[in-house]
Structure 1
Amino acid sequence: MSSLEQIASCVSGYDPDALPVEKAQEFIRRFVPRVETVEKLPLRAALGRVLATDVVSPIDVPAHDNSAMDGYALRGTELSADGPTRLRIAGTVLAGQPFEQRVAPGQCVRIMTGAVMPEGLDTVVPQEFCQVEGEVVTLPAGAVRPGDNRRLRGEDLARGRPALSAGKILRPADLGLLASLGQAEVPVLRRLRVAFFSTGNELRSIGEPLEAGCVYDSNRYTIHGMLQRLGVELLDLGVVRDDPQALEAAFRQAAESADAIITSGGVSVGEADFTKQMMARLGEVAFWRIAMRPGRPMAFGRIESRGRQAVLFGLPGNPVAVMITFYAFVREALLAMGGATPQPLPLLRAHAEQSLRKKPGRTEYQRGIVRQVDGRWQVRITGSQGSGILRSMSEANGLVVLHHDQGHVAEGELVDVLPFEGLI
C-alpha cells in the first residue's frame, strides 16, 4: 500500500497549503483501497449493490425471432408495392405456444405480441392496419416494410456476450436483465463500512439541553443522510468532546470496525488541536488547505488500531462546508472503495440571473436555484453564502460550480450547475 509521501510525489504541483480541488481528488483516487470480499445474494436483495464479476449471457435473449406486436405475420416478399395485399389466414400463434404448421405462400398467421415467428415469416403488420373478411386479410400498400415489427433472436443479448460489467451499481433494470438470463443469484461485493462522528465541546445532541454558546450537532444528520444514499453500512459514534482520551477511543473504535472514517470539525487553524494530534499519532494523515470555498481545511489519510486500518476523511466543522467537501471528495472515494466504477456527476449549463463575484485560483460552490424560463435554464443564488448557513443548502436545488481559473461572472453568462436531484 502506497504511503501519503509516495502518492504526493506522483501528483504534479502538490502543495498541501494551496491544493486545487482536482489535485486533491487525484490524490484520493490514488490512495484509497478497494473492498474485495464477495458474497452471493438473491436478485431481490441485490438492489444498489456493486457487481463483483462480469456477467456473460448464457443464452440468447430473446431465444427466438418473435412478434413485437399483435397483428399478422407474413413473408415480406409477398407485400405488394402497387396496391393492397390479400392473404389467407392459416391459423393463430400465441405467446408461449409454438406454431408447428407450415405456412404456405399466399398465407399469413394471426400472431400475438411475443409469439415465436413461424418458419419463413419475417414481417408483422399491426392489426389496426388490417381488414379481415372471413379467412382473408387485406393489408394496405405501404403499411409496413419487409422485416418490420419483428424482434430478432439474441437482439437484446446474444449468448456469450457481456451483459453487465463488474463495478456496476445494480439498478432495477439490471435486476430484470439478470432475471431474463435465468440467474436467481448475483455475486456482489460486501458493503463498505463507514464510521462517523462530530468533534467539539460546543456540540449537543438532539434532546440535550442547549447551554449558552452551544449548538445542536447537525453534521451527523447530514452525513448520515449522504451516506445512506451510497448504501454503505453505518456506524454513528455520536459527538466526541475535545478530550485526548475520548478522541483516541473513538478513533480506535472506528479503525477497528470500519473501512472509512468521517469526522467533522477539529481540522481548522485555531481550533483545539487535540483532534489533529490524535489523527497524526494514530496514523498517517495529511492536513490540507484546499483552494476551494467553502471547505478549505481538510485532513486525509489512514488511521490504524490493533492491526486494522481505515481511510480517514477529516472534514471542516461548518455545516455547508461538510456537505460540499463530502460531495467534492468523499462520495466518489467511498464508491471506489466499495468496488463501484464512479461516473462523473453531470453538470447542467445555465444562465446566471445575477452577476457573481469570484477570484481566480480557487473553486467555489455557490448554492443556487435552477429553473427553466422560456425554454432555457437559469440559476440564481439563494442569498447569503456563508459556510455556516445550512438553510442555503436546504433552499437550493443545485450548486453553481465556479471553476479554479474562472473569474467574475456577468449576468446572463453561462455557468455550470450540479443538480441536487438524485444526489442529495
Structure 2
Amino acid sequence: MLTAQQALDHLLSHAKPVADNESVPMQASLGRVLAENVSSLVDVPPLDNTSMDGYAVRTADIQKPGSILKIAQRIPAGSVGTELQVGTAARIFTGAPVPLGADAVVMQEDCVIPEGSTDQVQVNVVPIAGQWIRRSGEDLTTGKTALTTGTFLRPQELGVAASAGVTHLNVKRRVKVAAFFTGDELSLPGEPLKPGGIYNSNRDTLLACLKSLGCDATDLGIVPDRLDATKAALRKASKDHDLIITSGGVSVGEEDHIKPAVTAEGRLDLWQIAIKPGKPLAFGAVRKSDEPKDGEAWFIGLPGNPVSSFVTFLLFVRPFILKLQGREAKQMQSYLMRADFDWLKADRRNEFLRVKLNNNGGLDLFPNQSSGVLTSASWGDGLIDCPPNQPIKAGDLVKYIPFDALLK
C-alpha cells in the first residue's frame, strides 16, 4: 500500500492550474483565485494623516509639559488644512491629513482647554516627532504589488484591492467539479428508505466541501449499481468539468463498477493507501469525447463510508483542487498538542483520529472511531495524524490538524 504522502505526491504531480481567466467586479471575487498581480493605483494613505483625535503640533513649540498653543484651525477627516504656523496647533480628527509644518499629533487625552478659553490648548506631554502620524504610502505606494498571482481572495484581500483603487480583478475561472454517488442502498433525505437502505450523507458533505473551496460544483445524484449506468454518468460528467468525484464503488466487489467503468471511458490508477479511515482511492481521467483534442476530465474515486469519504477528500482531493485553482497546495498544517486519552490499539496504517479541543489545553478522543460514524467529525475540531504502529498515551504530544485549516 502507498503511504499518504506517496499518494498525494502522485496526484499533485498531475494537477495543472486551469488556463482560463476572467475579469470580475470586486464584490464578485470573494473565494476566487487571482490570475495576475494587482498593483496599487495610488499611495495608501495618499497623505500623512493622524491615527488619533487630538492636536497637530510642531514639537519645537512644546519644550515642557503644560505649554499653551493657539488653536488656529480645525481639520476633520476629508478636509485639508493650511500650513501650521509657529506657536499654533490644529484640532485634528482621526484620518485627517496632517497639515504642513506639523511633525506630531498629541492625542486629546493629553490636552486640556484652559478654563475660560475658546482658542487655546494646553499640551500636558512633550511630544516626539512623528507620533500618531501615519505616513503617506506606508501601506502601499503607487505601482507597488498589492496582491500576487495565486492569492485566494478573502474579505481582507478585497479590502486591500479596494484601498489600492481597483474595481475589477482578473481571476482564475472556477474549477468545475461533477460529483455522483453509487449505491442502490442510497436514498436522499425526504425520500422513504428502501429495505436495507440508508440516507446519502456523502452527497451533502462533499458538495459542501467543494463549495467551501470555491468550486463550481455539479450534483449528478445517485447512480445505480450497474456498469452501464456508471459509464453513462462518467461520460456526462466529463463533458464540461475539470474533475469528477465519486463516492463508493472503488473496492473490488462484484457491485463495485467504478474500476471497469473508468477503465472503459479513460484510464485509472486504483490504489490502496496505508491510512485509516479511507484505504481505497482511485485516480485517473475520463475522456471528454472520442476526439483526443477534446482532452480529459480528472477522476478521483473516494470510499463510500462517510468518514472515509470525508477524510480522503480533505487529505487528497482538497490539495488537488487547490493546485487546479492555481493556489499553493501547502502541506497539511499541524500542531503538536497534548493527548488527554489513551489509544493503545495502534494500527499498522497511518490513522487519522477525530478529536476535540478541551478546556485544559489538550485533546479528547471521540469514543467510536468507526469509518461509518460521521458524528465523530461533527463533534470533533480536527484530526490527529497518528503514525503506523504508534500507540498514544495520555500526556503524549501528537500532531493535530484542525478542520478549519482543511476546509478553505
In the TM superposition, residue 218 of structure 1 has moved relative to its aligned partner by 1.6
1:54 aligns with 2:41: no
Residue 336 (1) aligns with residue 323 (2): yes
Match of 2:257 among 232, 253, 274: 274
Match of 1:4 in 2: none
User: Quick one: distance in 1 between partners of 2:341 and 2:335?
Assistant: 17
Are the structure 2 counterparts of residues 361 and 148 from structure 1 closer, same or farther at C-alpha, using a change threshold of 3 Å? farther
Residue from 103, 107, 115 that aligns with 1:126 = 107
Number of the residue aligned with 1:391: 375
CA contact (8 A) 1:76 1:147 kept: no
The secondary structure found in structure 1 opposite 2:96 is coil
In the TM superposition, residue 251 of structure 1 has moved relative to its aligned partner by: 0.3
- C-alpha deviations, 1:225-258, integer Å up to 9, x for none? 1112112111111111221211111000111121
Q: Which SS does the other structure have where 1:416 is aligned? A: strand
Give the match's secondary structure for 1:329.
Answer: helix
Match of 1:90 in 2: 72
Matches within 5 A, 1:136-175: 136-142=120-126, 144-175=127-158
- Pairing 1:104-123 to 2, within 5 Å after superposition: 104-123=85-104
* Partner residue of 1:321 out of 296, 305, 308: 308
Unaligned runs of 5+ in 1: 1-17
- Sort the Cα spacing of 1:271 and 1:378 in 2 relative to 1 into closer, same or farther, 3 A: farther
What secondary structure is seen at the aligned counterpart in 2 of 1:372?
coil
Kept in 1, the 8 Å contact 2:39–2:164? The answer is no
Q: Which moved more, 1:29-38 or 1:269-278?
A: 269-278
Q: Give the corresponding residue for 1:285.
A: 268
Q: Distance in 2 between matches of 1:158 and 1:328?
A: 40
Corresponding letter in the other structure for 1:380? D
CA deviations over 1:283-319 (Å, ceiling 9, x no partner): 2211111111000110012111313411111111111
The farther-off stretch of 164-173 and 266-275 is: 266-275
Q: Deviations over 1:65-105 (max 9, x none)?
A: 0111111111233332x5433222221122222123x3222
Q: Is 1:65 matched with 2:48?
A: yes
1:347 aligns with 2:334: yes
Structure 2 counterpart of 1:171, which letter?
A: R
Matched residue type, 2:393: A
Q: TM-score, normalised by structure 2?
A: 0.93
Does the 8 Å contact 1:47/1:171 carry over to 2? yes
Equivalent-residue separation in structure 2 for 1:75 and 1:342 (angstroms): 52
Cα distance in 1, alignment partners of residues 310 and 129 from structure 2: 57
Q: d(CA) in 2 for partners of 1:120 and 1:361?
A: 73
Given the superposition, is the C-alpha separation of residues 270 and 244 from structure 1 closer, same or farther in structure 2, using an over 3 Å criterion? closer
* Counterpart Cα distance in 2 of 1:208 and 1:64: 63
Distance 2:254 2:395 in 1: 41
Does 2:22 align with 1:39?
yes
- Partner-residue secondary structure (3-state), 1:26: helix
- 1:202-221 to 2 correspondences below 5 Å: 202-221=185-204
- Note if contact 2:338-2:395 (Cα within 8 Å) is conserved in structure 1: yes
Residue identity matched to 1:111:
I
Q: TM-score, normalised by structure 1?
A: 0.89
Asked if the contact 1:256–1:305 (Cα under 8 Å) also holds between the matched residues in 2, the reply is yes
Change (3 A) 1:245 1:149: same
- Specify the alignment match of 1:78 in structure 2: 61
The correspondence for 1:304, drawn from 283, 287, 298, is 287
Cα distance in 1 for residues equivalent to 2:93 and 2:374: 57
The question of whether the paired residues in 2 share the 8 Å contact of 1:242 and 1:275 is answered with no
Residue in structure 1 matched with residue 170 of structure 2 by the alignment: 187
Which amino acid in 2 is paired with 1:26?
A: D
Q: How many residues align?
A: 400
Q: 1:59 to 1:361 in 2, by over 3 A?
A: farther
* Structure 2 unaligned blocks of 5 or more: none
Q: Hey, what's the Cα distance between the residues in 2 that align with 1:213 and 1:75?
A: 83
Write the distance in 2 (CA, Å) between the matches of 1:201 and 1:305: 27
Distance in 1 (alpha carbons) for counterparts of 2:348 and 2:150:
35
Deviation at 1:349, TM superposition (A): 3.1
In 2 relative to 1, CA 390–141 (structure 1 residues): closer, same or farther, beyond 3 Å?
A: closer
Code of the residue aligned with 1:384 in structure 2: it is N
CA distance in 2, matches of 1:236, 1:131: 67
Distance change >3 Å, CA 95–CA 273, structure 1 → 2: closer
SS at match of 1:411: coil
